[in-house]
Amino acid sequence: MRGENTLIEIRGKKINRFTLEFSDKSLERSFKSDYFYHSLFQNRLSIIFGMIVFLFFSIIDTYIIPELSIRFIITRVVVILPLGIAALLLSYTKRDILSNYFQTFSVLVIGFVINYFILTSSYVNLSPYYPGLILYFIYLFTVIRIYFIKSLLVSIGVLISFELTILSNNSLMKEDIITANLYVLSALLLSSIAGYFGELLMRKNYLVKNELEKANDEISQARLNLEDEIQKRTVELVNINKQLRKSKLRAEGSENLKTNFIANISHEIRTPLTRIIGFSELLTKAELSSDKRMKYSLILQENSDQLLRVITDMIELSKLQTDNVKIQNTKFNLAHFLESFNAIFSELNFKYSKNQIKFSIDNFIQDSKMQVYSDKNELRKVITNLLDNSVKFTNKGFVKLSCNVITEKFLMFCISDTGIGIDKENQEFIFDYFRQVDDGATRSYGGVGVGLSISKEIIRSLGGEIWVESDKNKGANFYFKIPYV
């Protein structure tokens, strides 16, 4: 409780009301370091000024006490001058503690020297040198920047020395002693008050400076954080704008695709329908030869199949868009399933009149009895669509179907070809509805551009994923993986 009574609080920090030291030791060390380095210039000037003034009084010695002037001059030169020079030189070293203590020691010695002058010059009357103590106290507390508590302790030591000096002279009158003490004690009291509040103000200013530096650091950090946030938001806005532009282009593209789709579907339906109607009328003529009747019948069948495929694709697309596709998983033999695509390829080869394409099946699974648990019909649709796509866009070379186990739960299929390939920029959209490799492909190769979209939705329904790897004029590799257990 007593310890608490000795403390005062300034700007949230506790300070000893007598020694003026911060209760926080780290804060006190920080203040002393700052105090020393910011007082260097003033202290150096104070030391130089003090030496000049003290040596100047040697001239006065010759007038006041000529018989002691030589002794006093020697004392000033031999004692005071070396102390001042040493204190000045130490201020240029990095040993701030040593320099500070040496300054304190120097002013203590100067006080004792003044008392020596007072003692030596006192005969019958009071020495004329005692007013020098008044200047000494003013210098100690207000000119040279030594901590208040040290200045006070030095002053008390010098005051005790002064009292012993004047009391040891029995020839001094009582009035002289009282007068001297009145002036000296008054000077000490006023100087110490000035020193006390001067250091208190400096400590307060130090706290204010620390708060300002902390506030500046916080502001700087906040500014950096704000700049980072602005940069982050700017990047986000740029990305959002890119996405918006991309979405806009997609929306515009979708409108164009829908327009093209309507034109394509109209073409794909009307063309075979027109042929069906035309050749149906021709078949009603009795004069047709059997060869022509057979030829027209095949054309009629081909166009009927084409129209059926278009209608089937539209129905499939409608089911997928309304999530009406029901997956029916069953177990089936994988090897037999893959072999069935030889017949499908032959049909596709005949359909597109491609005689320069070689078809092969690579089954990397050694177990010919391996069972797969999936929707066999939907899986067949996907592979048939991909084979149809490869045969359609390949004029010569090969089309290959391969299958392999990639994990304990997934099979991977690959349909590769040596066809026209797909540009990198088009691969992002190749699985979109109504898309083909290019806008001219629909008319050049036929179809309405939904085969790959249907395949993607079916694979998704089966729990897998599909992707493509290709380069322009270097063929294409369509991969998809599905769970098989």
CATH of the domain at 339: 3.30.565.10
Q: Which residue has the tokens 């300054």?
A: 103
Domain-embedded: residue 226: no
**Among candidates 418, 420, 423, which has minimal Cα distance to 400?**
418
Q: For residue 383, give the nearest of 261, 300, 478 by alpha carbon.
A: 478
Q: Of 7, 30, 29, 10, whose CA–CA distance to 19 is shortest? A: 7
- Enclosing domain of residue 20: 2-221
Give mean pLDDT, residues 17-42.
85
Of the three residues 202, 221, 240, the one that is the final residue of a domain is 221
SS3 396: coil
- The pLDDT confidence band at residue 462, using thresholds 50, 70 and 90, is very high
* Structural domain contains residue 237: no
- Same domain for 205 and 354, yes or no, is no
Q: How confident is the model at residue 137 (pLDDT cuts 50, 70, 90)?
A: confident
22 DSSP 8-state letter: B
Q: φ, ψ for residue 412 (rounded to 5)?
A: -120, 130
> In this structure, are 27 and 163 located in the same domain?
yes
Q: Same domain, yes or no, for 216 and 333?
A: no
**Does residue 189 share a domain with residue 332?**
no
Nearest CA among 311, 478, 459, 338 for reference residue 394: 478
Residues 333, 184 share a domain: no
Instruction: Answer whether residue 444 shows pLDDT above 90.
Output: no
H-helix or E-strand spanning residue 397: strand 397-405
What is the structure's pLDDT at 337?
94
Q: With cut-offs at 50, 70 and 90, classify the pLDDT of residue 294.
A: confident
User: Are residues 206 and 75 located together in one domain of the fold?
Assistant: yes
Span 227-274, pLDDT tens digits: 999 999 999 999 999 888 888 877 776 666 566 666 666 767 777 777
SS3 state at 467: strand
Instruction: Tell me whether residue 300 is in a domain.
Output: no
Whether 128 is in a domain gets the answer: yes
Mean pLDDT taken over the chain: 81
Q: Are 406 and 387 in contact (CB under 8 A)?
A: no
Return the structure tokens found at 479.
Answer: 């991969």
Q: Which DSSP string corresponds to 325-374?
A: -----EEEEHHHHHHTHHHHHHHHHHHHT--SEEEEEEE----TT-EEEE
Query: CB within 8 A of 73, min separation 6: which ones?
Result: 58, 61
Do residues 155 and 140 make contact, with C-beta atoms less than 8 angstroms apart?
A: yes
Q: How far apart are CA 469 and CA 423, in angstroms?
A: 10
Is the model more confident about 479 or about 163? 479
Residue given tokens 């650091």 in the structure block: 217
pLDDT at 279: 76
Task: State how far the Cα of 133 lies from the Cα of 115, in Å rounded to an integer.
Answer: 8
What Å distances lie between residue 33 and 10, 116, 366, CA to CA?
Answer: 20, 35, 83
Q: Residue 118: pLDDT band by 50, 70, 90 thresholds?
A: confident
Task: Select from 166, 188, 221 the last residue of a domain.
Answer: 221
Distances (CA, A) of 413 to 329, 331, 364, 422: 18, 18, 10, 19
Residue that finishes a domain, picked among 221, 253, 278: 221
15 lies in the same domain as 141: yes
Are residue 340 and residue 460 in the same domain, yes or no?
yes
Determine, yes or no, domain membership for 299. Answer: no
Residue 269 is assigned to a structural domain of this protein = no
Tell me: do 216 and 335 sit in the same domain. Answer: no
What six digits make up the tokens of 476? 């294409």
Same domain, 217 and 332: no
Tell me, yes or no, whether 153 lies in a domain: yes
pLDDT of residue 124: 44
Average pLDDT, integer, range 349-354 = 75
pLDDT confidence of residue 442 = 45
Query: How high is the pLDDT of residue 267?
Result: 64
| Tokens 């069953």 belong to residue | 330
Query: What total number of domains does the chain contain?
Result: 2
Residue 422 near residue 476, CB atoms below 8 Å: yes
Residue 321 covered by a domain: no
pLDDT of residue 1: 47
**Least confidently predicted of 28-42, 51-65, 120-134, 174-188:** 120-134
Q: Which two tokens stand for residue 60?
A: 């006065």
State both tokens at 473. Answer: 């004029």
The per-residue pLDDT for 261 is: 64
CB neighbour burial string for 242-273, b if at least 16 within 10 angstroms, e if fewer: eeeeeeeeeeeeeeebeebbeebbeebbeebe
> Measured between alpha carbons, how far is 6 from 21 in angstroms, rounded to an integer?
11
Averaged pLDDT for residues 332-361? 86
Q: What's the predicted TM-score (pTM) here?
A: 0.48
Instruction: Retrieve residue 163's tokens.
Output: 């009292």
Measured at the alpha carbon of residue 336, what is the angle toward residues 331 and 340, in degrees to the nearest 5? 115
Which segments of 81-192 are extended strands (E)? none
Query: What whole-number percentage of the chain has pLDDT above 90?
Result: 22
Q: What pLDDT was estimated at residue 443?
A: 45
